[in-house]
Amino acid sequence: MPIFTPTSRLLPALILGAGLLTACSGEDSATLVAEARAMAAAGDYKAAMIQLKNAVAEDDKNPEARYELGKLYLDQNDLASAEKEFRRAREAGYAANAINPMIARALLGQREFQRVLDELPAPAGPDAATLQALRATAELSLGRREDARKTLLHTQQAAPDNAEVHLALAQLALADGDADKAMQALDQALRIDPRHHDSLLLKGDLLRATGKPAEAAAVYREVLKIDPRHANARLALAGIALADNKLADARSEVDAALKASPNNLQARYTQALIDFREKKTERARDHLAAVLKRAPNYVPALLLGGSIEYALGNLQTAEAHLNKAVKAAPNNLYALRLLAATQLRLGRPDDASKTLAPALKSANQDPGVLVVAGEIALAKKDFAQASAYFEQAAQHSPDNAAIRTELGISRLAQGDSRAMADLQAAADMEGSSSRADTFIILNQLRQQQFDAALTSIATLEKKQAADPLIWNYRGAAYLGKQDAVRARDSFSQALKLDPAFFPAAANLAQLDLKDKQPAAARQRFEAILKAEPKHLNAMLALADLALRDKDEKSYVNWLEKAAAAHPQALQPRVALARYQLAKGDRNKALATAREAVNAQPDNPVALDLLGTTQLALGDTTNALGSYRKLAERMPGQAAPLVKVATAQITAKDLPGARKTLQDALRIQPDFLDAQLMLGGVEIQGARFDEASKLAKQVQQQKPDKPAGFILEGDTAFARKDYPAALAAFERAHKLAPSGALLARQLQVFNATQRPGEGEKRLAAWLVANPQDADTRALLAESLIRRKQYAAAAEHYLVLNKSNPGNLLVLNNLAWTLSELNDKRALSFAEQALKLKPDNPAVLDTYGWLLVRSGNAAKGLGILKKAQSKAPDAAEIQWHLAYALNENGDKARARQELKMLLDRNVGFTAEAQARQLYNHLTATH
């Protein structure tokens, strides 16, 4: 028949607890606690932790064991576990006046300020002074400064020599904006207790804040003399090193902090920050993932995450992080400007303008904000406004080469003669980056001023050490001069400087492919993998080359390798899932899409991929959930809402889809995809007047585009107003001629019983556009329906020549040739069967041709298999009945024909089937 287009088992695990094994040693819990204290004093905290856990396994009610365990957890910044152990110590009989301050510290660290006040009331008197001071700290954190002041004044009178009280007084002074008074309070606390960690830390922080980093570092080192494992002191020293760009020193301090406190989120965050500063961007993302997983609303981590994803080009993920950061800290200028820059790179300058507006209204104009404002103006082609912003930024920072560079770029866009002078001035500034030089070079390359570009490249080369990028530019210039030999030499020199420099390898690979040397192109990227075995872009490039060579096995293999080597990377997973979907491996595609979401749960690309895969599997419920998450991650944007509507339409929720699309159009009134989809929803709901209004609106907004007239035609066709439909489709075709619009016209002609007129238009189109395979296939199908087999066969032969190995073409060509008694038919049917041996339409065609060519016995077996695959296909049942009759099984043939005709489904050969049935019945 022709093809028309319309538990796993779980294995139990036996876990033997260390406490259970050790408890058999015979030691009592008091001995174990004493040993643990000795181990901690010697610096063996891991062993101390094991002994304390053994102690509580031996005696669950040992208050000393619980208290010491809580202290170890507190030191490791595992605040929830610390709180739990301190409460158990109190329940076991540990003195409340000693344990309650420890519970308060654990709660303060978790930012549970109100719980400190609600759960830990403190009586008056010197014994309760420490807890009262911690309660005052909670009041300060809740913004209740006067309550804190009152608490501390009473407590200071009762206990004037309590260091914790003076620390809280210092915090109160800072809240009052009195740094001198805060320092006096801290000095008093340290006179009382020179080893008071928290006072030393706050003193160091205060010295840093007042521009005395060297003195601050000395204070932090005092803390480390008292407690070499103090993670916060280490991290403070790392912060000072970072400020001085001493990244190696910073990393050393962070490594020491993580050794002492492996779960310290601030240490993990700082580790990621150092990675980012060292341009180890993917490693930074991997380290930060652990922080965001445990603290998804931690603003510094969100800002760093946004910066990392922006640098990696994952702009939707960057936007998701930065949206959360701005929501939490709406006055953070860095967050606002980076979010605006991200939205600008996403091609949404209007959204970027809205985001940046509060920052532009700030009293202290930040040059970085002005630069982003200028870039937004450039994107809107408002070059004068862009220059104004850049000039304003330059006034704030006259010696800033980056700002002068942006000013030059904006003037260049206006054709301002001062542009190149600005760029040259920026390039000549001391300490300038290579951006101005680079822009000069790129502009010269764009203008095909290749000799000038080579001169500029030589100038840049003198200003910095050997750089593969310079040689890459030089190679591009020589390519422009048609000097492939020097271009190759330049790209090769870049790779000598850095064997993993991908752009040069990619350029050389392009030259290899141009010279028809694909093996040499592959070797370029294999060489990169020798230098850097996990290089993502090299693996992806090898996958692309494999696909180019139609080596699908290698293509999949490279994508799988890339995904395994980069657990956080989306590109290989997205490509692999799309390939699997195209191949019909939908369950594999779903597994790959889930991997992508697990790697980056908030990434819009991953969520979109998962939703698309779920929709392809017919899982509309979960697809809708994925698309709704996508819309949540991209608030205020229309595109994700269209995805939601797609799932709703598939689920036949037309009212829901209508509302979602209307929401999308409120955000972006001229969003064509949403307009056309809404039009389709209105047509499906027989709301033709609404669809017509929408069509007119699209025509007014885009009078030179066919979309509005296509919607008008679709609406008229659904109303069965065929003259109006044809007129609309003809107008659309006049604006943008296409085979697809002629296909719509053919629909109208079919509906008015004039298919020949539509076919003539398609044939005329193909004379001018012979490569339009889709239109040719449509015309051939139409001719088959009208039994114009000779004309259909001609088109299918053309299609088979231009696109060999196409299942639909081979099957339908076999069918049409068989109707013409052409002996080539069986050969084409066999080719189709090799491609899809289980396709019922292909089986039917092959079986039917065998029967008609005299091989009825073999044909019958094939047709039985076809019917088992598609038991309701009327054409297959007719062919089976015919084959049964040809094989002499007339009773079974009559039975099949009776069942078929009783179904009253209508099919092409119905008259022949009825004639055979009547004959068999008469002779029965």
Per DSSP, 517 falls in state: -
pLDDT tens readout for residues 667-695: 999 999 999 999 999 999 999 999 999 99
Q: Measured between alpha carbons, how far is 254 from 23 in angstroms, rounded to an integer?
A: 36
pLDDT value of position 428: 55
Least trusted range by pLDDT, from 138-147, 401-410, 738-747: 401-410
- Is the alpha carbon torsion for 171, 174, 179, 180 positive or negative? negative
Determine the average pLDDT of the residues in 65-91: 87
Q: Report which of 358, 391, 356 is spatially closest to residue 373, judged by C-alpha positions.
A: 356
Structure-block tokens of residue 120: 């830990």
Report how far residue 827's alpha carbon sits from residue 818's, in angstroms, rounded to the nearest whole number. 11
- Please compute the mean of the pLDDT values over residues 508-516 and round it to a whole number: 94
Per-residue b or e along 138-150, where b marks 16 or more CB atoms closer than 10 Å to that residue's CB = bbbbeebeebbbe
User: Tokens 């008071």 identify what position?
Assistant: 196
The angle at the Cα of 638, spanning 632 to 640, to the nearest 5 degrees, equals 50
Residue 408 Cα distances to 369, 399, 649, 698, angstroms: 17, 14, 50, 40
User: Alpha carbon 411 to chain centroid distance?
Assistant: 35
Q: Are 300 and 325 in contact (CB under 8 A)?
A: no
Return the closest-CA partner of residue 349 out of 361, 338, 341. Answer: 341
Cα–Cα distance for residue pair 465/472, rounded to 1 Å:
15
Among 44, 100, 96, 93, which residue's Cα sits nearest to residue 65?
A: 93
Per-residue tokens: 20: 């259970």
In this predicted structure, the answer to whether residue 16 has a pLDDT above a threshold of 60 is: no
Class of domain 365-433: mainly alpha
503-542 b/e (C-beta count within 10 Å ≥ 16 → b): bbbbbbbebbeeeeeeeebbebbeebbeeeeebbbbbbbb
How high does pLDDT run on average in the chain?
Answer: 87
**809: Cα within 13 Å, side-chain hemisphere:** 18
Q: How far apart are CA 661 and CA 682, in angstroms?
A: 11
Span 653-672, average pLDDT: 94
130/152 Cα distance (integer angstroms): 10
Answer yes or no: is pLDDT of 416 > 60: no
d(CA 668, CA 371): 27
Mean pLDDT of 192-206: 90
CATH of domain 437-498: 1.25.40
User: In 10 A of CB 214, how many CB atoms?
Assistant: 9
Query: For 572-615, what is each residue's pLDDT tens digit?
Result: 999 999 999 988 899 999 999 999 998 888 788 899 999 999 99
| pLDDT tens per residue, range 258-306 | 888 887 888 999 999 999 988 888 889 989 988 888 888 888 999 999 9
Neighbours of 443 (CB within 10 A): 19
Higher pLDDT, 241 or 58: 241
Looking at residue 61, its pLDDT comes to: 86
437-498 shares its CATH topology with 841-924: yes
**Prediction pTM value:** 0.58
State the pLDDT confidence band at 641, using cuts at 50, 70 and 90.
very high
Residue 295 token pair: 């603290």
3 state DSSP class of 415: coil
Q: Is residue 684 classed exposed, middle or buried when 0-12, 13-18 and 19+ CB atoms within 10 A define those classes?
A: middle
* CA atoms of 807 and 29, how far apart (whole Å): 77
Q: For tokens 């090299």, what's the residue?
A: 538
- Alpha carbon 295 to its chain centroid, in Å, reads 20
Q: What are phi and psi of 576, to 5 degrees?
A: -65, -45
User: pLDDT tier at 15 (50, 70, 90 boundaries)?
Assistant: very low
Note the pLDDT of residue 11. Answer: 26
Given this model, what pLDDT does residue 188 score? 92
Give the N- to C-terminal CA distance of the chain in Å, as an integer: 29
* C-beta of residue 350 within 8 angstroms of C-beta of residue 669: no
Q: Give the integer Cα–Cα distance in Å for 72 and 77.
A: 9
- Cα distances (Å, whole numbers) of residue 614 to 351, 596, 600, 630: 30, 14, 18, 14
Query: What is 279-348's CATH superfamily?
Result: Tetratricopeptide repeat domain (1.25.40.10)
Q: Which of 226-240, 249-263, 426-440, 893-907 has the lowest mean pLDDT?
A: 426-440
Task: Give the pair of three-digit tokens for residue 93.
Answer: 């009989």
SS3 9: coil
pLDDT at 75: 79
Mean pLDDT, range 741-756, rounded to an integer: 95
From the list 120, 73, 67, 115, the residue with the least C-alpha distance to 92 is 67
C-alpha span between 758 and 746 (Å, rounded)? 4
**Identity at 752, one-letter amino acid code:** T
Mean pLDDT, residues 48-73? 86
Note the pLDDT of residue 407. Answer: 57
**The length of the chain, given as a count of residues:** 924
* 841-924: CATH superfamily: Tetratricopeptide repeat domain (1.25.40.10)
Percent of all residues in the chain with a pLDDT value above 70, rounded to a whole number = 91
Amino acid in position 781:
E
Structure tokens at 625: 């959930």
> At 19, is the pLDDT very low, low, confident or very high (cuts 50, 70, 90)?
very low
DSSP state of 25: G
Helices (H), 651-737: 654-667, 672-684, 688-701, 707-718, 722-735
Distance CA 744, CA 795 (A): 20
**Cα dihedral sign, 698-703-707-712:** positive
Lowest mean pLDDT segment, chosen from 345-359, 491-505, 669-683, 725-739: 345-359
Structure tokens at 8: 């796993």
> Which parts of 481-551 fold into alpha helices (H)?
484-497, 502-514, 518-531, 536-548
pLDDT of amino acid 126: 72
What is the rounded CA–CA span in Å between residue 418 and residue 402?
16
What percentage of the chain reaches a pLDDT higher than 90?
Answer: 55
For 844-874, write each residue's pLDDT tens digit.
999 999 998 999 999 999 999 999 999 999 9
Q: Using CA atoms in the order 712, 715, 717, 718, what is the torsion angle rounded to 10 degrees? A: 180
Q: What does the pLDDT look like over 381-394, one tens digit per residue?
A: 777 777 777 677 66
For position 25, what pLDDT does the model report? 38
Residue 434 has pLDDT above 70, yes or no: no
Q: Do residues 909 and 875 lie in contact, with contact meaning Cβ atoms separated by under 8 Å?
A: yes
Element (H, E) at 169: helix 163-175
Here the tokens at position 513 are 């492919």
Tell me the pLDDT tens digit for each residue of 516-559: 999 999 999 999 999 999 899 999 999 999 999 999 999 999 99
- Tell me: the pLDDT tens digits for 754-813? 999 999 999 999 999 999 999 999 999 999 999 999 999 999 999 999 989 899 999 999
Homologous superfamily of 23-267:
Tetratricopeptide repeat domain (1.25.40.10)
Q: What is the pLDDT of residue 22?
A: 33
Sign of CA dihedral 127, 129, 135, 137: negative
Instruction: Count the neighbouring beta carbons within 10 Å of the beta carbon of residue 923.
Output: 8
Could you tell me the pLDDT band of residue 415, with boundaries at 50, 70 and 90? low
Tokens standing for 775? Answer: 């239109």
Residue 446, burial from CB neighbour count under 10 angstroms (0-12, 13-18, 19+): exposed
Domain boundaries, the chain: 23-267, 279-348, 365-433, 437-498, 841-924
Contact 15, 21 (CB under 8 A): no
Instruction: Give the 3-state secondary structure percentages of the chain, helix then strand then coil, rounded to 5.
Output: 75, 0, 25
**Mean pLDDT across 204-232:** 89
Q: Which two tokens stand for residue 662?
A: 């209307």
Tell me how far CA of residue 841 lies from CA of 804, 835, 847, in angstroms.
19, 12, 10
Q: What pLDDT, on a 0 to 100 scale, did the predictor assign at position 591?
A: 94
Report whether pLDDT(29) > 80. no
Classify 556 as helix, strand or coil. Answer: helix
- The Cα–Cα gap between 560 and 554 comes to 10
Q: How many CB atoms lie within 10 A of CB 370?
A: 26
